[in-house]
Amino acid sequence: MPDYIKTCERAARAGGEVLLSWRTRFKAREKAPKDLVTEADLESQQVIQSLLLGEFSEHVFLGEESTPDAQAGADEAEFRWIVDPLDGTVNYVHQLPSFAVSVALERRGELLAGVVCDPVLDECYTASAGQGAFLNGRPISVSRCGRLREALVAASLSAGVERDAPEVQQFIEVIYAAQAVRRLGSAALNLSYVAAGRLDAYWATSVKIWDVAAGVLILREAGGEISGIDGQPFCLERPHFVSAASAPLHAELLQVLRA
């Protein structure tokens, strides 16, 4: 069987190097930073795609910057690489060091390998199905937190969320129920942080498949719990979810969010 995880990590690190090279080319308050971020995004994805398909030409590629036609074709493939070349765009624009590259491989709906690379901290979270989760080659596992009042929790809300949206009410309820809540800006890193025990739980209602594919596998391999925010099994194609370090914590957070 090919060593998918090594290729996965090489691709993620290559994308991270591209992002670091672009950071020095603009300032956070520049007139049109989004244009430069798009160029950084595209170059990162091109480097990753070239590396992955250079080794596995029979696979298909689904990236955040892929065209709609390419995305449609990727849904039907046996092997599919799922890539976010820059997760945490707002942080990146403002030169806040909390963004990542996410690369995952899926086979007929089953995640086989996943890597989340933080190029600023030089941290690479990796996982292969059934092989555990690692940070820079060292095994990681979730925390032992079992109660929401003791938990550090992260959330992802929609970028343009309305004041009276259910997401805001959920956020407020968790603020009162948990030890503390953070909105860190990178879904891939949030899942990795739960896997490594830095966070105890994380929920999201506004992310995409490429944001979380690698992180979900890393979380699971580190012993974490994840489900849909409705309590149903997690669905990668519609990733509205609740994740946590333990079953009791997951159940308690899910109850607060659904209430």
The string of DSSP letters for 171-234 reads HHHHHHHSSEEE--S-HHHHHHHHHHTS-SEEEESS--HHHHHHHHHHHHHTT-EEEETTSSPP
pLDDT at 1 over 70: no
- For the chain, list the domains and their CATH numbers: 4-139 (3.30.540.10), 148-258 (3.40.190.80)
Average of per-residue pLDDT across 152-178 = 92
> How many Cβ atoms sit within 10 Å of the Cβ of residue 222?
25
Residue with tokens 């805001």: 168
Contact 68, 23 (CB under 8 A): no
Closest CA to 12 of 156, 152, 145, 189: 189
How is residue 226 written in tokens? Answer: 């994840």
The mean pLDDT of the chain is: 92
**pLDDT range class, residue 161, cuts 50, 70, 90:** confident
> How many Cβ atoms sit within 10 Å of the Cβ of residue 197?
17
Closest CA to 236 of 200, 201, 187: 187
72 or 45, higher pLDDT: 45
The string of pLDDT tens digits covering residues 33-48 is 555 577 889 999 999 9
The string of pLDDT tens digits covering residues 93-150 is 888 999 999 999 999 999 999 999 999 999 999 999 999 999 999 999 999 999 999 9
**Max mean pLDDT range (19-33, 35-49, 92-106, 208-222):** 208-222
